[in-house]
């Protein structure tokens, strides 16, 4: 104890004494649990050691932080974080009969929810979750769960048989002596939520048999009808007698009621961050929330009229076109009377973000949507190829950017929070599992950071914070995550950056990744087949010797092929076997495979050297997008060009393969600006808005 000064005893628990102490090194108040081990039974010693083991595993802003443990005077000393605001039970007791506002209830509840999700992610059961074990900071705004003395670390699929915990919070299956897993913690979570809403426990009785009877019958008084139906239903679902009917934590987090509270939590508690090494403020321009990501970029340029203007007919707020996948000419998609400002294409998804922050999806209509039998003489109406819908359950959430992988989607909110949904294969949703999720769910591991960009590859994700911290997760073979290994990860991992380099923009390809740094340099990792990442060390006009060819990189590596390693790059995109980049001067360069003419040169050359696209002389290019074997470029005056493989309408016109850029014609009668373009596999999605004299809203 030479490092600490005892101040006073603040509690006596089942296994020992709790001291408030002053850490001499930094004058910080800490809690030290003094647990005598000499007089303990073997089971008690195991419980004490378990608390140390559990605390070492956990690292979350809503879980009491563990500092160290040591032996002194035949006692185990556990040093941990001090929460000066007391317990949640004391906070509730002081309310007397004054019910809490629903916003306050949810503010506390979602923090407990996040903490429990973190605990369960590490295969730990708390097994004694109650308001007495939930602590508050000095402002009584931040919740921290503690007392893991009877937690159990689970092996996969195992169940804990020991009946432990406070009787008022134990679940029906424990009363019956049945095994249980995380669902009993969820029951206790329901008891805590009930207590926040009612200021009393859900189950109380004069003796244990009567208490067990109440729990087994699920008998408790309803919470006040002043609260929303959604909150009352949440309490009922958490306190379902059947464990299988209690929703998993990820589903609870996905409910609109909780999403709104989680987003508000991020704003209210912006200073509560994941613990990590501090670093000095970066030089260079600050990042602005709002994002660009993989396979999608924007050109904010005046377009060219495609026909005589008709002032009597006002132009639409915006138009979104798609081609490829059998559509040989651009098809205007249904818009739901809204303005789409950014689009993203995946293998099966077509998604857009509206100016108001809603997520719009375009899908093939359900079978039989054309209706029943026609009346005699009626003309059959063609079935639409796509129908549009807004994503359900998005109330209270403002989406700023969307990115699509092969079978999953990632969204960035205006408050810097990333949400994912779709297929969970390869861990690409970032929720710590391989489970599929149908509704957007917050990537909980990133809640301590304000994110500004997200990009999706076929089965991996990159995300960037305002402090230029780069995270990656999902499939890792080929080194595409930039973590120095080929391992896959189902939770976000902090990516090491080369010294002196800071990410400004992130891009993902099928099996590779690229970042643009603050001065416009590019770094890449993953598969460099055909030198599609430009990693071969090449001077202008050179071809690499076989021993110089770089086949893959497992960490982010500077591009080595001239002129990509010399000129600042404004836009890059990664296709299946080739890539494209736009320099600060508006020149377009392509590199990688040219099997189908996707590099935009006359000859189907076999070369690993980057080449300048021919046929675009005198045209300043602002952005590019790459598909599986074709390229789309947007000019500074709104021109749209495509080249490469022409099968199944990839080029947006009835051409076969085209080795040189040719224009794509859009059915627009007004001058327009291309606001976003995205290519994936054989499809393209492009958004335009009419150019008017009215200022564009921010």
Question: Does residue 606 register a pLDDT over 80?
Answer: no
- Beta carbons of 633 and 298 less than 8 angstroms apart: no
pLDDT at 389: 87
Question: Does residue 666 register a pLDDT over 80?
Answer: yes
pLDDT at 696: 53
Question: What distance in Å separates the CA atoms of residue 453 and residue 291, rounded to the nearest whole number?
Answer: 4
Average pLDDT of the residues in 138-145 = 88
pLDDT at 659: 87
Q: What percent of the chain has pLDDT over 70?
A: 82
- Beta carbons of 653 and 312 less than 8 angstroms apart: no
pLDDT at 44: 64
More confident residue, 295 or 128: 128
More confident residue, 488 or 280: 488
Q: In Å, what is the CA distance from 498 to each residue of 103, 474, 479, 482, 680? A: 44, 22, 15, 11, 30
User: Tokens 């021919």 belong to which residue?
Assistant: 614
**At 147, is the pLDDT very low, low, confident or very high (cuts 50, 70, 90)?**
confident
Average pLDDT of the residues in 233-247 = 92
Question: Does residue 246 register a pLDDT over 60?
Answer: yes
pLDDT at 99: 92
pLDDT in tens, 96-117: 888 999 999 999 999 999 999 9
**At 486, is the pLDDT very low, low, confident or very high (cuts 50, 70, 90)?**
very high
More confident residue, 86 or 677: 677
Catalytic residue among 26, 128, 147, 667: 128
* 33 annotated binding-site participant: yes
Catalytic-residue membership of 185: no
pLDDT in tens, 670-688: 888 999 999 999 999 999 9
pLDDT at 310: 43
pLDDT in tens, 414-461: 888 899 999 999 999 999 999 999 888 888 888 878 899 999 999 999
Question: Does residue 651 register a pLDDT over 60?
Answer: yes
The CATH-assigned architecture of domain 4-81 is: 2-Layer Sandwich (3.30)
pLDDT at 571: 93
Strand partners, 419: 411, 442
pLDDT at 588: 95
b (16+ CB within 10 A) / e for 569-596 = bbbbbbbbbbbbbbbeeebbbbbbbbbb
User: Per the CATH hierarchy, to which homologous superfamily does domain 87-155+166-264 belong?
Assistant: Transferase(Phosphotransferase) domain 1 (1.10.510.10)
How many other CB atoms sit within 10 Å of the CB of residue 465? Answer: 19
**Lowest mean pLDDT: which of 64-73, 153-162, 582-591?**
153-162
Among 111, 95, 244, 264, which Cα is nearest to 189's? 111
Question: What distance in Å separates the CA atoms of residue 695 and residue 593, rounded to the nearest whole number?
Answer: 43
pLDDT at 396: 65
Average pLDDT of the residues in 633-655 = 92
Per-residue DSSP letter, 684 = E
pLDDT in tens, 508-562: 999 999 999 987 789 999 999 999 999 999 988 788 888 889 999 999 999 999 9
405-557: which CATH topology? Answer: Methylamine Dehydrogenase; Chain H (2.130.10)
Average pLDDT of the residues in 490-507 = 93
pLDDT at 7: 93
Tokens standing for residue 221: 């008084």
pLDDT at 180: 60
**Range among 46-50, 390-394, 445-449 with highest mean pLDDT value:** 445-449
pLDDT at 13: 64
Question: Does residue 298 register a pLDDT over 50?
Answer: no
b (16+ CB within 10 A) / e for 104-142 = ebbbbbbbbbbbbbbbbbebbbbbbbbbebbbbbeeebb
Tokens standing for residue 108: 């506390």
Tell me the backbone φ, ψ of residue 344, rounded to 5 degrees: -145, 140
Q: In Å, what is the CA distance from 659 to each residue of 453, 596, 612, 644, 646? A: 33, 7, 13, 6, 10
Question: Does residue 391 register a pLDDT over 80?
Answer: yes
- Beta carbons of 174 and 184 less than 8 angstroms apart: yes
More confident residue, 471 or 540: 471
Question: Does residue 394 register a pLDDT over 90?
Answer: no
- What is the pTM assigned to this prediction? 0.64
**At 301, is the pLDDT very low, low, confident or very high (cuts 50, 70, 90)?**
very low
595: which residues sit within 8 A by CB, 6+ positions away?
A: 577, 604, 629
pLDDT at 314: 66
**At 697, is the pLDDT very low, low, confident or very high (cuts 50, 70, 90)?**
low
Question: What distance in Å separates the CA atoms of residue 593 and residue 611, rounded to the nearest whole number?
Answer: 11
pLDDT at 215: 86
User: Tokens 């599986």 belong to which residue?
Assistant: 628
pLDDT in tens, 148-202: 654 544 443 344 444 444 578 888 888 877 766 688 889 999 999 999 999 999 8
**Lowest mean pLDDT: which of 206-215, 267-276, 329-338, 376-385?**
267-276
pLDDT at 177: 76
Question: Does residue 272 register a pLDDT over 50?
Answer: no
Average pLDDT of the residues in 468-476 = 96
**4-81 shares its CATH topology with 318-345+567-693:** no
**At 379, is the pLDDT very low, low, confident or very high (cuts 50, 70, 90)?**
very low
**Lowest mean pLDDT: which of 76-90, 228-242, 335-349, 382-396?**
382-396
Q: Name the strands in the sheet holding 672-680, side by side, starting at the edge strand that comes first in the sequence.
A: 296-297, 672-680, 683-690, 319-324, 327-332
Q: Where exactly are the structural domains of the chain? A: 4-81, 87-155+166-264, 318-345+567-693, 405-557
Strand partners, 522: 516
Domain 318-345+567-693 is found in CATH 2.130.10.30: yes
pLDDT at 383: 53
* pLDDT mean across residues, the chain: 83
């Amino acid at each position: 104890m030479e490092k600490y000064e005892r101040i006073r005893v603040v509690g006596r628990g089942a296994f020992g004494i709790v001291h408030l102490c002053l850490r001499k090194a930094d004058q910080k108040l800490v809690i030290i649990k003094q647990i005598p081990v000499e007089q303990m039974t073997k089971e008690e010693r195991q419980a004490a050691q378990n608390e140390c083991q559990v605390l070492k595993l956990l690292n979350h802003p809503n879980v009491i932080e563990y500092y160290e443990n040591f032996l002194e005077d035949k006692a185990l000393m556990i040093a941990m974080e001090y929460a000066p605001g007391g317990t949640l039970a004391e906070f509730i007791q002081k309310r007397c009969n004054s019910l809490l506002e629903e916003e306050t209830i949810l503010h506390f509840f979602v923090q407990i929810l996040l903490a429990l999700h973190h605990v369960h992610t590490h295969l730990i059961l708390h097994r004694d979750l109650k308001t007495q074990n939930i602590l508050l900071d000095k402002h009584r705004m931040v919740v921290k769960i503690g007392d893991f003395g009877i937690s159990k670390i689970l092996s996969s699929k195992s169940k804990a048989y020991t009946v432990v915990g406070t009787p008022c919070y134990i679940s029906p299956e424990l009363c019956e002596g049945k095994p249980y897993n995380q669902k009993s913690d969820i029951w206790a979570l329901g008891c805590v939520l009930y207590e926040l809403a009612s200021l009393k426990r859900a189950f109380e009785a004069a003796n244990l048999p009567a208490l067990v009877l109440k729990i087994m019958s699920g008998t408790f008084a309803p919470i006040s009808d002043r609260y929303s139906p959604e909150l009352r239903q949440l309490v009922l679902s958490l306190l379902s007698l059947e464990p299988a009917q209690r929703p998993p934590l990820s589903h609870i987090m996905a409910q609109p009621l909780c999403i709104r509270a989680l987003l508000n939590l991020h704003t209210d508690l912006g200073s509560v961050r994941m613990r990590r090494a501090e670093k000095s403020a970066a030089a260079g321009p600050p990042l602005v929330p709002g994002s660009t990501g993989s396979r999608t970029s924007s050109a904010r340029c005046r377009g060219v009229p495609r026909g005589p203007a008709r002032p009597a007919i006002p132009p639409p707020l915006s138009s979104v076109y798609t081609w490829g996948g059998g559509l040989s000419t651009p098809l205007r998609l249904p818009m739901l009377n809204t303005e789409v400002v950014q689009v993203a294409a995946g293998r099966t998804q077509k998604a857009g973000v509206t100016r108001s922050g809603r997520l719009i999806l375009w899908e093939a209509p359900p079978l039989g949507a054309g209706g029943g039998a026609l009346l005699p003489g009626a003309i059959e109406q063609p079935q639409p190829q796509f129908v549009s819908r807004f994503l359900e359950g998005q109330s209270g959430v403002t989406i700023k950017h969307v990115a699509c992988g092969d079978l999953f989607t990632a969204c960035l909110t205006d408050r810097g929070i990333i949400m994912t949904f779709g297929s969970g294969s390869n861990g690409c949703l970032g929720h710590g599992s391989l489970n599929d999720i149908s509704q957007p769910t917050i990537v909980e591991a990133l809640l301590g950071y304000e994110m500004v960009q997200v990009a999706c590859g076929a089965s991996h994700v990159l995300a960037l914070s305002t402090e230029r911290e780069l995270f990656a997760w999902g499939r890792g073979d080929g080194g595409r995550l930039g973590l120095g290994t080929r391992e896959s990860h189902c939770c976000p991992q902090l990516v090491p950056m080369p010294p002196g380099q800071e990410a400004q923009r992130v891009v993902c390809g099928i099996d590779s990744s690229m970042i643009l740094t603050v001065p416009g340099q590019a770094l890449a990792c993953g598969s460099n087949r055909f030198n599609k990442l430009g990693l071969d060390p090449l001077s202008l006009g050179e071809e690499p010797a076989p021993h110089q060819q770089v086949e893959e990189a497992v960490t982010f590596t500077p591009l080595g092929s001239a002129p990509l390693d010399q000129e600042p790059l404004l836009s890059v995109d990664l296709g299946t076997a080739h890539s494209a980049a736009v320099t600060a001067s508006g020149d377009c360069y392509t590199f990688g495979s040219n099997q189908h003419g996707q590099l935009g040169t006359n000859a189907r050359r076999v070369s690993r050297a980057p080449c300048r696209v021919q046929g675009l002389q005198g045209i300043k290019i602002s952005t590019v997008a790459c598909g599986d074997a074709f390229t789309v470029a947007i000019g500074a005056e709104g021109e749209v060009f495509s080249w490469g493989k022409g099968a199944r309408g990839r080029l947006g016109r009835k051409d076969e393969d085209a080795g040189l850029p040719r224009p794509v014609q859009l059915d627009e009668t007004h001058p327009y600006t291309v606001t976003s373009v995205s290519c994936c596999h054989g499809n393209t999605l492009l958004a335009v808005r009419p150019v008017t004299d009215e200022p564009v809203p921010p």
